[in-house]
Structure 1
């Protein structure tokens, strides 16, 4: 699988706070945008996952702010899979402003059936999606 190059984003003015920096709550949204963009890059967009009856809820999220990002900056968000079990999927995020890492974060997810609201084992229920996430995990593991 080809390496995902990351998600490039220019902050919007409305995302700033009174001090002119990006408000801390926006980083969590950016992590989600990067995850969704990575799925599109892998030719398995989120709409296709939902059409297959799969939900990927967020179980937990964290964010560590190392330096400020301001309106006008352009950032690169690189999500990498740190754990994949077939029922769970965990990400690390590195947000770059130029060459410098300015923010890091994590998120934890599981796979659920949208019909039953029960945990699913992708290996058994959706093997194509299982192999996609397994390949992505192996690819991102090699680049870390």
Structure 2
């Protein structure tokens, strides 16, 4: 299965906003995660499948730059892209754009490692080659 690009659309909810009707900054990180979970599912490696195969992937670093505000009711498009993968560390780049105006609202990255359920680092190339190869082929 090939995937050229993937985007996930989200409508800003009332509970995600502050008193001014502006989405609270913490929600952008949640949107990164939601788009990442959906992206992995679309490429055939859902978090459930990974965990069933003894793979956990904690976040080891995250960053987010805010360019313009998202308000209650706005539709945004979150696009995750694999920027780096060396078999040990995975870095995903995210862009959040306004669905109507295409204005960039935010961008950032999350970095992940891969551990077994015992908490020890995994060698994906050796132990989970299909997943390793899939990630490697999706690096942009």
* Normalised-by-shorter TM-score class: over 0.9
Distance apart, 1:4 and its partner CA: 2.9
Query: Hey, what does 2:125 align to over in structure 1?
Result: 123
Could you tell me which runs of 5 or more consecutive residues in structure 1 were left unpaired when the two chains were aligned: none
The one-character-per-residue Cα deviations of 1:92-111 (angstroms, maximum 9, x if unpaired) are 11101031111011111100
What is the distance in 2 between the residues matched to 1:55 and 1:123?
Answer: 15
Q: Any runs of at least 4 consecutive aligned residues in structure 1 with deviations exceeding 6 A, and if so which?
A: none
- 2:138 partner SS: helix
Q: Tell me the alpha carbon deviations over residues 31-75 of structure 1, each in whole angstroms, 9 at most, x when there is no partner.
A: 000100101111221100010000000001111110000111111
The two structures have a TM-score, normalised by structure 2, of 0.94
Q: Which runs of 5+ in 2 are unaligned?
A: none
For 2:40 and 2:93, the matched residues in 1 are separated by: 15
Instruction: Say how many residue pairs are matched.
Output: 137
CA contact (8 A) 2:6 2:80 kept: no
Structure having the higher helix fraction is: 1
Q: What's the RMSD between the two structures over aligned residues?
A: 0.9
Residues 64-87 of structure 1, C-alpha deviations (whole Å, 9 max, x = no match)? 110000111111001111110111
